[in-house]
Structure 1
Amino acid sequence: MAVVFGVLYRLSNKHFFQKKHFALSTLVLSFSIGMLTQSLHHHPGYKNHYSHYTSESDMLTGTISERLKPNAYAEKYYFKIDALNGKNAFGKILLTVSKKEQSKQFHSGDRLLIKGELTPVVKSSNPYQFDYASYLEKQNVYHQLYLKPENYRKTGSEHNLDYYVEVYRNTLLHSFKIHQFSKDINNIIYALLLGQRQDMDLQTTTNYTEAGVIHILAISGLHIAILYAMLLFFIKPLNRIKNGKLLQFLIVVGFLWVFALLSGLSASVVRSVVMFSIISFGLYLNKSGNIYNILAVSMLVILLFNPNLLFDVGFQLSYIAVFSIVWLQPFYKSLKLSRYKVVNYFVDVLTISFVAQIGVLPLSLYYFHQVPLLFFLANLVVIPLSSFVLILGIVVLALNFIVPNIAIVFGKLLGFTIELMNEYIAWIASFKTFVIKDIPFSFSLLVLFYLMLITLVLWLYEKEFRKLILFLSSSFTLQILILSTLWQTKQGSEFIVFNNKKSTLLTEKRNNLIRVYTNDTLPQKNQNLKSYNRGNFNLDIEIRPLQNVVLFEEQKILVIDSLGIYTLKQKPDILLLTQSPKINLNRLIEVIQPKVIIADATNYKSYISRWKATCGTKKIPFHATAEKGFYKIEN
């Protein structure tokens, strides 16, 4: 295919107007390169991938590569395997460590010898829930392992790239200890300077999200642009010496990529660094590139090295935000409402923020299902403040190593500014009524929403009748789809046994009503129920107490909880075990003869294992929601 493309490219140089077959060959070659790149980066496709050697009890060795954001109960890490069951292998798994059993954190480069069972990452355990397994597959992670103190041994530390990145990053971040900042201030500094948000508390993250400024905590184009400008300012004198321009280019690009490594190579950071590397190369050659070409080339380079980033939320949001700002620039760049530069600066902040928000709105609705209406007020203050914090933070970071006494003086100003920013964001987030949450939004709505936005902008550029027709047609189609989706969600009926750990949760959906059976005192706040209702486009909810017998269509569901009380007047079709009842399952099966037995996530694991073995002996289908996810009965 490459040969055909080369020949057609050579022939195309002889024509001013290009032939269709050249465009077709370009399209086919690009598609082929994409498929080849994807196959090369699909780890299970290699013979020495660990997944080909797994067994019920595995012995594996490898190194910790990265610490992930923990939850309230466990630390999480990526673990790179180099040997499995005595065979050389490669691959990456998710390692989960209980905080109760292991108080000390692991570090990148720690070598471990582990004996345990690799289990597949469970798919969505409840309907309309975030599919964590699918997300990990995009990171080439297919299995997980729950680490226990008695099942592993630390065998040393490997001084690889991951090790040195963490060591130097921690050296930089720990230099702020001389300021004795509070934990909240330290977490903001760690996030803004080096993108480390693992220990960010939930309340701060929620405040930033509901105020519409969560992008501030993710290193993006704004941060890289400030860093790039500061670098150019300090090394500008190099232009006066021989080969100074080349040296300037190498320093800037080298520094940016070191920064990208230290900040974790997130999608938004890589996008920004690649773009500024291309811009720096253009300046070195005294050539200015078209911004659309720079965007396309940077995307191509990134996807060649990691095609799975195409499905990364940060990658998508980052590129669409930048594209929106660039594409809509003609409509807002001429806005000069005042002769004062300060006023025009804040106007620019608002307009650029608004344009970026419009561009990412469909994606935000699809992934996060909420819209913060006060993002204007938040960005008006937070963007200038965060820029000042970032510049001051870099200065303080340098002074921490050079002149600590002066660093402490500037650190007081840094801490005060961050506290001011946090308090302002918390105040904006306190207006809960201005945050529209749980907005249902499907993939088809996402596509049509973007189609409508694109046709609208095309019409604004050239107000032609045919483009107006395209915009109106896409708008009409979007409305038809919304109405059709609403109608479809009200059709049919289904019964769901949720994988809910704290309490038993059952739902019966009929037309436009969801009937909930639970003993939970606050069922409306249950995230599993909220996701299910949102996925059904927010139907009416009716709460009922959990009953021993539930009827759905022609099927009888017998619920046995911790009390172990049940009636045998009628034989049930389905037996549901909850809250670890102490029963003789063998005897119960002989008496009621159920067709299916379900155990929800409220039961002890030891009980579930025993029931599973019993059902295997009796040849009765057994469904444990903790292992297989929710159970659904459809009409």
Structure 2
Amino acid sequence: MRADHKGELPALFLIFPFIAGISVGLKYPTANAPFILVPLLTLCFLFILFNWGYNKFNIYKKRWLGGLLITPILLLSGWLIVLQHYQLNHPDHFSKTSSEYLVTTINNEPVQKNGLTRFIAEVKQIGYAKKASPATGKILVTIKDSAAKILCYGDELLIPAKYDEVSPPLNPGEFNYKQYLAHKNIYHQLFLYPGQYKVVDTNCGNPVIAYALQLRQNLVTKLKRNMHDTTAITVASTLILGYKADLSNDILQAYSKTGTIHILSVSGGHVAIIYLLLSWLLSFLNGNKRGRVFKAILIIMFIWGYALLTGFSPAVTRAALMISFIITGKTYSRYINTLNILAFSAFILLLGDPFLLTDVGFQLSYLAVTGLILLQPIIYKWISFKNKWTNKLWLICSVSIAAQAVTFPLSAYYFHQFPVYFLLSNVLIVLPVSIIMYTGILLLLLPQITFVSNWLGYILEKTILAMNSMLHLVENAPAASINKIWLTSTEYILLYIIMVSFFAFCYKKSKWKLVVLLFSVLVLAFSVGVKNISGQQIRSVTFLSLRKHQGIVFKNGNEGVVLTDLPETDKSFQYSIQPCLDSSRIYNYKIYTFSDNIRTKYLAKQNDLIQFLNKKMFLLNSGGKSQSIPQSLKPHYIYLAKNSIIDPENIEEKSIFIIDGTNNNSHIDSLISLFGHKRINYKLLSRNKSATFLSN
């Protein structure tokens, strides 16, 4: 719904400086609080003073004065809120004081995967000897112990204070897990084995959240009792309840490639389906004002109960807030501007947790709804149909196009792909998703009646499997997705400028909008072209940091050779090597092991000797055996792995030595000592970033 004038949208115009302040705070979270607080209080005092003298001093003649004051007030407020929430600013953060042990409480639902139990713990106390003191802070805990499967939300644990800072990404294009956790106010992690932790108490968490999580587990168990196919059970648990613990990468990939990943994230669409169901069931209360008020209270309570059940995800919380405001307004026959409510709900959520601004789900959720409000009416008017059902189909298509258009730059920036057949996929899932939601809710609400529950479970399972089959066909269609989209920050911004100017021109044509659109397209094309040309000209070798594994990437323009001990299907390959290839724009590559002999037009490998263009490399990869380097070889790089022993008298001083992470700590220490004594250039990969050398 478009506002007729900006006075209808106070929250929308006020949210921007507040978001700007939060962004500044996230960039500079350790700023001095008084430096912000003093000017903030001064501006607030002036704002109150000017409002008090609004008529007395004829301030109403200077309308711009209020905006001039409120903008920096909101900006500084956003910055100050970040400083207050940034846990490393707290003097009692557990990392500020050395300790022997931590007393922690599990504050989320532990996830079991690949024999590991992982959860976020809130530190309550730190201890040294027999002394304990209060502390704050969150820590990511991973336990490799089958007994840890019984741990649950609210359990209080005694754990050793042998934590580490979260490591940054070590290889090109690798997912920045350190930044991801920092955006959740987590900066340290701890890995534990059997006997290294002790449960000292239970039920120490919020009783409401504990009840909701236990109820969700019971409902997941009910789904498992009435369904048989594990994939269908996983999709049902995720789609209806937001329970993602059993979600596999294959399912995620299928939904991601078809542009339907949003249905696996419980969001506004799910809340809307529940709202429509409740509104229909309670329609008998519409007869009088008291009945309408009671109906509104019931629906709001159910929706917030559902939000609690799904873990208060940003999308569900935003939808619950919006629908609560809309229901309240409609109940009392008030005019409501949806954009204003959207901005107000964002303001409330960010006020409670400014770090939500960095959450991808939060960003995509608000962008998608903004697109539906602003762009969908424009797109819908492009084509008109006289046939009722064709017109409804076009309505669904316009909704999908609007949501995809406004979220495409962000999703391409984060996930590096674009689903080509998103429109077809989203049209195909409209009916199945509705059946799944209504059937699933009915199954979970009704008591366990064998015949009825099994029948509902059968319908639910068959619908999910049919939907998966349709999406599988789309996923395997030719050119189903455009992958390896790596945008720079400038290109990301240009995409949004293009999108906004295009739809602004469609809404109301003007010359300047067309100029902005065409100029932005030209600049984007130039940027992409320059990036591709420069990528084709780069020749380089990258020694990857893979901890217990090995990997070397040789880049020759858009071609490449990968030397590794990992198969392409391995998770470590997909996590560390594949992003390196994609971000380096290596589209045509071959994978070899260290024992293979290789011969290409730009690289030759014979046993331990590699010739890459004009660079020579020697591999010391014998696993503890002493090896000597031929005196006449004079390699540019010498690769040391698996505790290979090198003769100190046989060191080529002009070579660069690469110490791989497969060497143990004692061997690494001896090598560093040797190279330091002889002043030899070396690069250590263990717990360090990868090393890239140009070979042009």
Offset at residue 412 of structure 1 (A): 2.1
What runs of 5+ residues in structure 1 fail to find an aligned partner?
A: none
Show the counterpart of 1:376.
423
Q: Which moved more, 1:64-73 or 1:111-120?
A: 64-73
- Contact 1:61-1:81 at 8 Å conserved across structures: yes
Pair 1:536-2:584 in alignment: yes
Show the counterpart of 2:223.
176
Residue 182 (structure 2) aligned to one of 97, 112, 137: 137
Show the counterpart of 1:461.
507
Residue 256 (structure 1) aligned to one of 288, 294, 303: 303
Show the counterpart of 1:266.
313
Within 5 A, what are the aligned runs for 1:405-416?
405-416=451-462
SS of the residue aligned with 2:107?
Answer: strand
Residue 612 (structure 1) aligned to one of 643, 662, 668: 668
Offset at residue 634 of structure 1 (A): 5.6
Offset at residue 7 of structure 1 (A): 3.8
Show the counterpart of 2:106.
64
CA deviations over 1:561-602 (Å, ceiling 9, x no partner): 135444241676764322x2453x6x548855688654434x
SS of the residue aligned with 1:227?
Answer: helix
Q: Which moved more, 1:107-116 or 1:404-413?
A: 404-413
- Residues of 2 paired with 1:87 and 1:432: CA distance? 62
SS of the residue aligned with 1:146?
Answer: strand
Q: Percent identity?
A: 25
Within 5 A, what are the aligned runs for 1:218-297?
218-238=265-285, 243-297=290-344
- The TM-score, its normalising length taken from structure 1, stands at 0.89
SS of the residue aligned with 2:125?
Answer: strand
Residue 50 (structure 1) aligned to one of 64, 88, 94: 94
- Residues of 2 paired with 1:128 and 1:151: CA distance? 35
Pair 1:477-2:540 in alignment: no
- Contact 2:637-2:656 at 8 Å conserved across structures: yes
Offset at residue 337 of structure 1 (A): 1.8
SS of the residue aligned with 2:357?
Answer: helix
- Contact 1:507-1:514 at 8 Å conserved across structures: no
Show the counterpart of 1:117.
162
- Residues of 1 paired with 2:496 and 2:213: CA distance? 40
- Residues of 2 paired with 1:249 and 1:588: CA distance? 81
Within 5 A, what are the aligned runs for 1:354-503?
354-400=401-447, 403=449, 405-431=451-477, 433-490=479-536, 494-500=540-546, 503=549
- Contact 2:554-2:560 at 8 Å conserved across structures: yes
RMSD of aligned residue pairs (Cα, Å): 3.1
- Contact 2:236-2:440 at 8 Å conserved across structures: yes
Pair 1:215-2:248 in alignment: no
Aligned length: 622
SS of the residue aligned with 2:541?
Answer: strand
- Residues of 1 paired with 2:444 and 2:271: CA distance? 16
1:44 alignment partner AA: L
- Residues of 1 paired with 2:386 and 2:224: CA distance? 44
CA distance 1:210–1:513, shift in 2 (3 Å): closer
Offset at residue 135 of structure 1 (A): 0.5
Residue 118 (structure 2) aligned to one of 76, 79, 89: 76
- Residues of 1 paired with 2:459 and 2:149: CA distance? 34
2:620 alignment partner AA: I
SS of the residue aligned with 2:266?
Answer: coil
- Contact 1:517-1:546 at 8 Å conserved across structures: no
2:374 alignment partner AA: W
SS of the residue aligned with 1:627?
Answer: coil
Show the counterpart of 1:26.
70
Pair 1:166-2:213 in alignment: yes
Offset at residue 538 of structure 1 (A): 4.1
- Residues of 2 paired with 1:547 and 1:119: CA distance? 39
Offset at residue 464 of structure 1 (A): 1.4
SS of the residue aligned with 2:135?
Answer: strand
- Contact 2:157-2:200 at 8 Å conserved across structures: yes
Q: Which moved more, 1:116-125 or 1:526-535?
A: 526-535
- Contact 1:568-1:592 at 8 Å conserved across structures: no
- Residues of 2 paired with 1:517 and 1:371: CA distance? 26
1:193 alignment partner AA: I
- Residues of 2 paired with 1:411 and 1:612: CA distance? 58
- Residues of 2 paired with 1:413 and 1:441: CA distance? 43
- Residues of 1 paired with 2:134 and 2:694: CA distance? 47
Q: Which moved more, 1:207-216 or 1:102-111?
A: 102-111
Residue 567 (structure 1) aligned to one of 629, 638, 644: 629
Offset at residue 265 of structure 1 (A): 1.7
Show the counterpart of 2:5.
none
Offset at residue 119 of structure 1 (A): 0.8
CA deviations over 1:149-186 (Å, ceiling 9, x no partner): 02112223124224333212212322334414322121
Show the counterpart of 1:627.
687
- Contact 2:171-2:689 at 8 Å conserved across structures: yes
CA deviations over 1:62-88 (Å, ceiling 9, x no partner): 122224665545332112211223332
CA distance 1:242–1:292, shift in 2 (3 Å): closer
Offset at residue 22 of structure 1 (A): 2.4
- Contact 1:279-1:288 at 8 Å conserved across structures: no
- Contact 2:110-2:118 at 8 Å conserved across structures: yes
Show the counterpart of 1:309.
356
CA deviations over 1:527-576 (Å, ceiling 9, x no partner): 33432232234466576558635578998754311354442416767643
- Contact 2:562-2:589 at 8 Å conserved across structures: no
Pair 1:339-2:387 in alignment: yes
Pair 1:95-2:152 in alignment: no
- Contact 1:59-1:114 at 8 Å conserved across structures: yes
Q: Which moved more, 1:269-278 or 1:325-334?
A: 325-334
- The TM-score, its normalising length taken from structure 2, stands at 0.81
CA distance 1:610–1:385, shift in 2 (3 Å): same
- Contact 2:107-2:205 at 8 Å conserved across structures: no
- Contact 2:432-2:463 at 8 Å conserved across structures: yes
- Residues of 1 paired with 2:634 and 2:527: CA distance? 44
SS of the residue aligned with 2:173?
Answer: coil
